[in-house]
Structure 1
Amino acid sequence: MNIIISNSSGQPIYEQIVSQIKSLIITGELNEGDALPSMRLLAKELRISVITTKRAYEELEREGFIYSVTGKGSFVAAKNMEFIREEQLRIIEDHMQHIIQAATLCKLDLPELIQMMTILYEEE
């Protein structure tokens, strides 16, 4: 499992871990039942605190992406891809609402907004 931590990112380290593991699960790189590295091993590999990896794993478990078995470790949970997709769509819609509000404030019209989004999307 390849997780990259950016110290220059404004995002907390545990959130970086959560988002990258979610991405690995959603894209199928991690499958149902796959074991995750232990919290201590991941912390050692990333050179971060065990508390940070614990927080990331707890968040993933709370959101239903992983489950933990005492003494055995943490594993990828069964995926409800429709639920995950709906959750991601809701997040995108929330971001788009903020974008629309910001565009309205600076009097950016819809064609300009679409052009900007197209340019950014194609850069990815």
Structure 2
Amino acid sequence: MNINISNSSQEPIYSQIKNQIKQSILRNDMEAGEALPSMRRLAQDLRISVITTKRAYEELESEGFITSFVGKGSFVAGQNQDLIKEKRIKEVEVRMGEIVNESKNLNISLQQLHDLVTMLYEEEE
């Protein structure tokens, strides 16, 4: 698992870790039952505090993305494929909302934005 931490980011380090692991799970880069590195090992690899990795894992567990077992470690939780799809759609909605706001700030019309999305969508096919 490859996690990149940015010290210049406004986002807290635990949140960067959590979000990168969550995205890996949602993209199916990590499968149900797959073991995550131990909190201590991840902290060593990233050169950060174990408390930081602990918080990221706790939040992932509370959101249902991983399960942890004392003495055994943390594992990707089995998830319903419909639920995963719904979470991914929600993520697209959030990112599109950011794009819409930026487009408004730049005075890009709805038609121009629509044309741009259509062009990009058709390029990917």
Normalising by the residue count of structure 2, what TM-score does the alignment of the two structures yield? 0.79
Q: Write the mapping of 1:20-39 to structure 2, written as runs, cut at 5 A.
A: 20-39=20-39
Secondary structure class of the residue paired with 1:33: coil
The alignment yields a C-alpha RMSD, in angstroms, of: 2.6
Deviates more, 1:96-105 or 1:65-74: 96-105
User: Which segments of 5 or more consecutive residues in structure 1 lack a partner in the other structure?
Assistant: none
Distance 1:98 1:27 in 2: 21
Q: How far does the alpha carbon of each residue in 1:57-78 deviate from its partner, in whole angstroms, 9 at most, with x for none? A: 0111111110001111111110
Alignment of 1:1-124 (within 5 A): 1-97=1-97, 99-100=99-100, 103-104=103-104, 107-115=107-115
Give the drift of 1:118.
6.8
The offset of 1:104, in angstroms, is 4.6
Q: In structure 2, do the counterparts of structure 1 residues 104 and 30 end up closer, same or farther at CA, with 3 Å as the change threshold?
A: closer
Q: 1:39 to 1:103 in 2, by over 3 A?
A: same
TM-score, with structure 1 as normaliser: 0.79
SS of equivalent to 1:4: coil
Corresponding residue pairs, total: 122
Q: 5+ unaligned residues in a row in structure 2: which ranges?
A: none
Q: For residue 99 of structure 1, report the CA deviation from its aligned partner.
A: 4.5
TM superposition shift of 1:38: 0.8
Pair 1:10–1:117, CA change in 2 (3 A): farther
- 1:46 aligned partner, one-letter code: L
| C-alpha distance in 2 between matches for 1:92 and 1:57 | 24
